[in-house]
């Protein structure tokens, strides 16, 4: 039976999707916070107006069976303007996927037919799809003969498996922890002025949240790259995410203080035994002390002792020395789809197999 696709691009209509979205998430078994209505609501307000969100609701006889969160944006490559369409996401998003309750291939066929019939895009850039997702399998099976496409890079999210005893893990870790990192952590353990705090709920008017938002704001002003352009309203994103994550029991904000002053913060979401770090920051005048490293090790110690966490992901694409601590990684991939127009085919020909702009 044919499927119908309804487009939503107004915030008020998006708000009405909340109960439908929750039902589809439950029916699909996709329980990650990063596929929830609350997460995409925060992304919607974080990327707008530089990027224009759009939600596709796939319906069978008037009953929603799938949701596809998308956004539009424009960019230039090699002096040529490009109209992009991609998943609704932000720089802090570790993975994205469709919310599909049933008949995955049937939904994907309807979606590709719908997108191929539109003329408001040149390239569809689907980033951060889990490598093992049925969406990847369906797309790579259905795309040949429909649209030009290619794999456009990948992303690895390193994580630590929380298994066994902390002291034994730290002993094994010693070979991967530099002398300065070890000194920073051990100073933290000995110092009476140092304190680690974890917050599972945060008042939106609390001094801690205001301090966190101020650190985010300083980082946004320092970063004029892809991340700041992709989500110019980072403060609004984290304020709303904090409210919703506190309500849902997902939130964990860690703070390292010295004599009452915050030296380092790490913002996490917890769900189903997994801890995902989304953002970390701190006082710039204490960087030589490596407070972020000391906080990471203290968090790991607390997670090992909690007995209720299976893995700790330190953040999308972390590239520093902490990669040496990790057990393995979750891989996400990026796909690019091109319209069948002459201009899109030209872009397909001009673009590299995996250009620098694709390694976000």
State how far the Cα of 11 lies from the Cα of 44, in Å rounded to an integer.
8
At 240, list the tokens.
């709303």
* pLDDT for the residue 294: 85
Contact (Cβ atoms closer than 8 angstroms) between residue 140 and residue 316: no
pLDDT tens sequence across 13-48: 999 999 999 999 999 988 899 999 999 999 999 998
Closest CA to 303 of 275, 262, 276: 275
In the chain, what are the domains? Answer: 4-157+330-358 (3.40.630.30), 164-309 (3.40.630.30)
pLDDT tens sequence across 328-337: 889 999 999 9
**Which H or E run includes 171?**
helix 166-173
Written as tens digits, the pLDDT of the chain (360 aa) is 689 999 999 999 999 999 999 999 999 988 899 999 999 999 999 998 889 999 999 999 999 999 999 999 999 988 899 999 999 999 899 999 999 988 899 999 999 999 999 999 999 999 999 999 999 999 999 999 999 999 999 988 889 999 989 999 888 887 777 777 777 777 777 777 788 999 999 999 999 999 999 988 887 655 555 555 667 788 999 999 999 999 999 999 999 988 888 889 999 999 999 999 999 988 777 666 778 888 988 999 999 999 899 999 986 555 566 667 888 889 999 999 999 999 999 999 988 654 434 333
Task: With 0.75 as the threshold, say if the pTM is over it.
Answer: yes
At 332, list the tokens.
């996400």
State how far the Cα of 134 lies from the Cα of 209, in Å rounded to an integer.
38
Q: How many CA atoms lie within 13 A of 150 on its CB side?
A: 15
């Amino acid at each position: 039976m044919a499927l119908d696709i309804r487009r939503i691009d107004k915030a008020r209509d998006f708000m009405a999707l909340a109960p439908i979205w929750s039902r589809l998430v439950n029916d699909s078994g996709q329980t990650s916070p990063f596929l929830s209505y609350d997460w995409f609501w925060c992304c919607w307000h974080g990327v707008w107006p530089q990027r224009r969100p759009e939600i596709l609701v796939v319906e069978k006889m008037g009953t929603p069976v799938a949701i596809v969160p998308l956004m539009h944006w424009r960019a230039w490559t090699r002096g040529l303007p490009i109209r992009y369409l991609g998943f609704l996401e932000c720089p802090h998003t570790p993975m994205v996927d469709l919310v599909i309750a049933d008949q995955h291939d049937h939904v994907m066929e309807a979606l590709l037919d719908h997108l191929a019939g539109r003329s408001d895009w040149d390239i569809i850039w689907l980033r951060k799809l889990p490598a093992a997702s049925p969406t990847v399998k369906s797309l790579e099976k259905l795309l040949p003969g429909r649209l030009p496409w290619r794999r456009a890079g990948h992303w690895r999210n390193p994580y630590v498996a929380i298994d066994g005893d902390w002291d034994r893990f730290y002993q094994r870790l010693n070979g991967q922890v530099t002398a300065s990192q070890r000194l920073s952590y051990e100073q933290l353990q000995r110092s009476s002025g140092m304190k680690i705090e974890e917050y599972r709920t945060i008042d939106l008017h609390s001094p801690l949240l205001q301090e966190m938002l101020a650190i985010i704001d300083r980082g946004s002003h320092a970063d004029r790259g892809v991340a700041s352009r992709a989500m110019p309203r980072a403060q609004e994103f984290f304020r709303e995410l904090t409210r919703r994550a506190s309500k849902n029991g997902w939130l964990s904000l860690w703070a390292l203080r010295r004599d009452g002053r915050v030296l380092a913060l790490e913002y996490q979401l917890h769900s189903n035994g997994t801890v995902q770090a989304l953002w970390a920051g701190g006082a710039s005048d204490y960087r030589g002390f490596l407070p972020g490293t000391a906080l990471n090790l203290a968090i790991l110690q607390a997670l090992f002792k909690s007995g209720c966490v299976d893995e700790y992901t330190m953040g999308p694409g972390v590239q520093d020395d902490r990669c040496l601590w990790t057990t393995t990684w979750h891989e996400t991939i990026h796909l690019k789809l091109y319209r069948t127009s002459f201009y899109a085919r030209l872009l397909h020909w001009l673009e590299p197999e995996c250009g620098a702009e694709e390694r976000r």
